[in-house]
Amino acid sequence: MWRYSAEAYPHIFLLLFTVSAALALAVGLQENAPAGLPRHRLRAFSVAGILTALAALFYQTGVFFAVAALWLILARRQASRSSRASAALAFLLPCFALALLYLWVITSQERGIGGILHYQYGPSGWMGYGKIMPANLLKAPVGAANLFVGEVFAREHLSALPKVKGILISHSGIPALPHDGAPPSLAALLPLYLLLGASLLALVRLIFLVFFNWRRMGEQFPLGRALAMVWLIPYAAFPIWWFPENRQYWLGALPPLCLLFSLAAKACPHPGSPAKRPGGLRLLALSAGLLALTNLFGSIGPDRRPESNPLLQRTYALADIIGPRDLVITMSAGELKHLSCYLEYYLRCRTVDLLALFFSPKGEAAGRERILQEISLASSEGGRIYLISEAMTSPLIYRQIAKYKSVSPEQVEKVLQGFLSPLNPTLVVSFSGKPLLHRLEPASAPSSIVTPTPRRASSSP
């Protein structure tokens, strides 16, 4: 969750607003007084609606929580029909208000409603995903395992277990980029493997705890169990249908899972009771602590070190060349599709995406004009123009865009080469024996090719 939230995707905002909306919804769903719906509960439903709309604004799957919340509101048998209608209206009005505001914003942009619908539901939106296949059920555990193992753990620390690493890497889209530094030995990785094994065992115990205490949870926390289930079902069904082996789509299922684990731990009998079982709260605390340590030492810590982060290595390799006024033309596809996030954060430079040539709602000409405007602006301010070389040399990029656009890779290559060739790209940086950075300067003489040494983690870019 940390990696996708901090460096690529806005999942952290989805989780923040859905969890906050769930808390507000739980306040509103408390037992109603016979006279009607108290004002503070009506306000709670309105707040839940606002937070749900904000969750959907940051990530589309926030709509799933709106459906689950509305079902809970309308399914309350103890409330009168008028109370349920008032609660549903209080929840939906903020959602519709923010939705209309969002529609007004996008219609004022060049994409427009037609462009949004084409992007979401056309070939570029579906991208070949969203298939009902039995194999998806078999791939789902891979995505869930990657969610808990972490990208860096799978990429760096499973080198001593090549078969396990091959399964996680090949089915999850983790970039297997070359980088400097020898892989650690099995003896050096043994403590991390033991920590991961203990974390997964504690997690399995929590899952069994939910099954063993399911009835007790319904008796003691009926609202909490219902909320957790209607919240979990869509956020687990969606990744199974859409892209089951990719961990990022499973992130929305984490909050309801944590809620289920917490309710099961709370409902678990105390060790001193006749039904002698391990203390649920102690097991919950142990699981959280083990998973936190696994992520800290297995993923978060190593990901901040260039020797174990290929994208960070490439960013530091460019730190002495790219300045804040420079413009870097990137490509949000291929193995380096997240490199622009690193460049903008660490080097404070500007970037523009070549995908504008293919996904501009007004066509290739509009995308070309947009990129040229960025180039002209950077040049007028004294900045230099660079290109991430993968956009010119990667067959993977050609295949990915061809799949999204339902064209041939040769057509994609022709468009890219037709745009970049007049800009006279000159190779200036190589990394691990491959081109990394080109300078776009039609009137300049070819520069010498350099292969810089990545900086240490303590160095500032």
Residues in the chain: 461
- What is the phi-psi region of residue 127: left when phi exceeds 0, alpha when psi lies from -120 to 50, beta otherwise? left
pLDDT per position as a tens digit, 159-168: 545 545 444 4
| Both structure tokens of 374 | 């960025």
> How much of the chain, in percent, has pLDDT values that exceed 90?
25
Q: Which of 3-17, 204-218, 382-396 has the lowest mean pLDDT?
A: 3-17
| Both structure tokens of 155 | 């990429």
Is the pLDDT confidence value at 306 over 50?
Answer: yes
* Burial of 324 per CB tally in 10 Å (0-12, 13-18, 19+): exposed
Cα angle 296-297-303, degrees, rounded to a multiple of 5: 80
pLDDT per position as a tens digit, 202-214: 888 888 989 989 9
Contacts of 274 (CB under 8 A, 6+ apart): none
In which residue are the tokens 């430079």 written? 349
What is the side-by-side strand order in the sheet with 350-353?
Answer: 350-353, 327-330, 385-388, 434-440, 425-431
pLDDT of residue 66: 93
pLDDT of residue 226: 92
Q: Report in angstroms the alpha-carbon separations of 213 from 209, 263, 278, 280, 460.
A: 6, 9, 12, 10, 52
Give the span between the Cα atoms of 292 and 279, in whole angstroms. Answer: 20
156: confidence class by pLDDT, cuts 50, 70, 90: low
CB 174 within 8 Å of CB 155: yes
Ranges of each domain in the chain: 2-125, 134-303, 310-440
CB 401 within 8 Å of CB 395: no
Greater model confidence, 450 or 460: 450
Kindly provide the residue ranges of all beta strands, DSSP E only, lying in 356-418, ordered along the sequence. 385-388
pLDDT of residue 141: 76
- Residue 424 φ/ψ, nearest 5 degrees: 50, 65
pLDDT of residue 150: 61
CB 382 within 8 Å of CB 350: no
Is the pLDDT confidence value at 16 over 80?
Answer: yes
3: confidence class by pLDDT, cuts 50, 70, 90: very low
CB 209 within 8 Å of CB 261: yes
The one-letter code for the residue type at 230 is V
* Burial of 199 per CB tally in 10 Å (0-12, 13-18, 19+): buried
> How much of the chain, in percent, has pLDDT values that exceed 70?
74
pLDDT per position as a tens digit, 210-253: 998 999 999 999 989 999 999 999 999 988 888 887 777 888 88
Give the span between the Cα atoms of 345 and 315, in whole angstroms. Answer: 10
Greater model confidence, 207 or 113: 207
Give the span between the Cα atoms of 339 and 389, in whole angstroms. Answer: 12
- pTM for the model stands at 0.75
